[in-house]
Amino acid sequence: MSARRIAVLAATTAAIALPVVSAPAATAAPAHATSASTMAKASDPCDREGPWKIHASAVNLHSKASSHSTVLGVMYKSHKFKVHSSTSRGSGWVHVTDKTTHVTGWASMKYVYPTVYTCLP
């Protein structure tokens, strides 16, 4: 390696390490400080679930919470719908009634899910 490359590498390493070395040490929070879990409340506009929406042009409504079950109908993005229940986020199905066609069935949460609001610190 040439002397010039070594000098550039050393300067870069020093520039990156300097902020880490000069950063102030962390201090413990006072006993009266509130934790993040107590700060996040149901009324907090940052941590809330918004309305359910269809995030595709159309979604199949199935008789069971399975893609291998019978398709009962199609729910389009413009349709209003009511959510009855949902399975765990892992399996990802939501039980809905399409208010336009009055068909009740299961839709995949790949395409139908609530809007989630999160604020950055």
Are the beta carbons of 56 and 47 closer than 8 angstroms? Answer: no
Q: What confidence tier does 90 reach under pLDDT thresholds 50, 70, 90? A: low
Closest CA relative to residue 54, chosen from 107, 117, 116: 107
Cα 97 to Cα 99: distance, rounded to the nearest angstrom:
6
pLDDT, residue 97, reads 95
> In this structure, what token pair is assigned to residue 22?
């000069």
pTM for this model (two decimals): 0.57
Cα 4 to Cα 96: distance, rounded to the nearest angstrom:
66
